[in-house]
């Protein structure tokens, strides 16, 4: 890539529109950007395995049907910045008390070549993409930021304060009685029922709120990432994606992060007994995978919205700590309406 000779805007708002073209990357262009992704986010992966992982993720239904890679180019065709968007859906309960299903996009992999940074290219691309998605019917965009939120705020995104609940994994933890493993084949019915319950739950809320709808294709995408992380660690991948305690609830997890951590993606215990059993299952699975921590996002956050007045069912024996990366952000793009008072479920744990 040649370094483009562009006028450098002092802020993205001052960028001259005729200097930039926004395109969708073709497969060859995607593969070229993946090499840059590896330089920035590929910790623990050799390049060959990382490129295999990205290609495998693109073959997942979640990506085939939902993924777009956007590029900001100059008039010579050089790529200045890129990002990815993944289509998703949300339940929203507006000020009038009506629950509706909205189209949304999750933004990921916002990247600029280190030689081209500090020129406002990422901010310009963010603003262009959000504006185009809004015109095409998108009403919510979300992202998880490992850097400061200033750039994302320029495109309308608001930070959702988050904490994580952590439990250290001790050796010799055993799988609890009465709890079964969940595989991908178990997910579709569970998540479909969960989506219905979320909509019904939100309909009983007392203030405007929004919650992301989970679906099986996204869990399969996380599972593929987790498989490649296992290979990068020299381990055999596991088919297990969660645990069920029957009538006492269920949970879904992933181990796809660079650090040796089991992240809980969905936490659905029913009562303290369910929370205790599922916590033990998380710890046992983490121990089997030689992981050092189990991490939940905001699993005890009291929203005051629950019309059924359930107990928060905090994971057993956890300690809170501030979350300093992967901070969730959201932009509300519905014309003529105000931002929802509460943003539910974007911390990956949803309703309880």
Of 300 and 60, which is predicted with more confidence? 60
> How many H helices and E strands in the chain?
8, 16
The pLDDT of residue 176 is 96
**pLDDT band at residue 323 under the 50/70/90 scheme:** confident
CA distances (Å), origin 111, targets 39, 50, 142: 11, 17, 16
Segment 121-127 shows an average pLDDT of: 93
Rounded to the nearest 10°, the torsion over CA 309, 104, 159, 267 is 40
Instruction: Enter the DSSP assignment of 298.
Output: S
Interval 181-213: pLDDT, tens = 999 999 999 999 988 888 887 887 777 778 888
Domain 12-159 annotated CATH 3.10.129.10 = no
> Domain-by-domain residue ranges, the chain?
12-159, 163-323
Instruction: Tell me the CATH architecture of domain 163-323.
Output: 3-Layer(aba) Sandwich (3.40)
**99-111 and 140-145 strand pairing:** parallel
Same fold flag, 12-159 and 163-323: yes
- In contact, 222 and 254? CB cutoff 8 Å: yes
Start-to-end Cα distance in the chain: 49
23 strand-pairing partners: 71
**pLDDT band at residue 253 under the 50/70/90 scheme:** very high
Segment 116-134 shows an average pLDDT of: 93
**Token representation of residue 33:** 């950007």
The pLDDT of residue 1 is 29
State the pTM of this model. 0.87
To the nearest 10 degrees (0 to 180), the angle between helices 47-58 and 27-41 is 130
């Amino acid at each position: 890539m040649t370094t483009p000779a562009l006028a450098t805007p002092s802020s993205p708002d001052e960028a001259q529109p005729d200097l930039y073209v926004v395109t969708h990357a073709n497969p060859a262009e995607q593969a070229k950007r993946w090499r840059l992704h590896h330089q920035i986010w590929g910790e623990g992966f050799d390049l060959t395995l990382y490129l295999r992982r990205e290609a495998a993720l693109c073959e997942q239904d979640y990506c085939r049907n939902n993924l777009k890679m956007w590029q900001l180019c100059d008039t010579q065709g050089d790529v200045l910045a890129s990002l990815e968007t993944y289509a998703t859906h949300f339940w929203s309960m507006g000020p009038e008390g009506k629950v509706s299903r909205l189209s949304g996009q999750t933004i990921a992999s916002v990247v600029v070549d280190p030689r081209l940074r500090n020129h406002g290219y990422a901010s310009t691309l963010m603003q262009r993409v959000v504006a185009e998605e809004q015109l095409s019917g998108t009403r919510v965009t979300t992202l998880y930021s490992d850097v400061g939120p200033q750039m994302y705020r320029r495109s309308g995104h608001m930070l959702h304060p988050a904490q994580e609940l952590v439990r250290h994994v001790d050796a010799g933890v055993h799988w609890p009685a009465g709890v079964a493993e969940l595989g991908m084949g178990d997910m579709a019915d569970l998540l479909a029922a969960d989506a219905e319950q979320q909509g019904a739950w939100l309909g009983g809320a007392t203030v405007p709120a929004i919650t992301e709808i989970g679906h099986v294709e996204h869990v399969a995408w996380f599972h593929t990432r987790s498989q490649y992380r296992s290979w990068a660690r020299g381990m055999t991948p596991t088919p297990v994606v969660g645990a069920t305690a029957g009538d006492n609830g269920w949970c879904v997890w992933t181990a796809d992060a660079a650090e040796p951590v089991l992240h809980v993606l969905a936490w659905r215990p029913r009562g303290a007994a369910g929370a205790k059993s599922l916590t033990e299952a998380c710890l046992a699975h983490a121990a089997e995978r030689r992981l050092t921590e189990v991490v939940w996002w905001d699993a005890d956050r009291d929203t005051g919205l629950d019309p059924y007045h359930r107990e928060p069912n905090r994971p057993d024996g956890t300690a809170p700590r501030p979350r300093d990366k992967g901070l969730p952000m959201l932009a509300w793009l519905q014309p003529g309406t105000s931002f929802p008072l509460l943003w539910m479920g974007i911390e990956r744990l949803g309703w309880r």
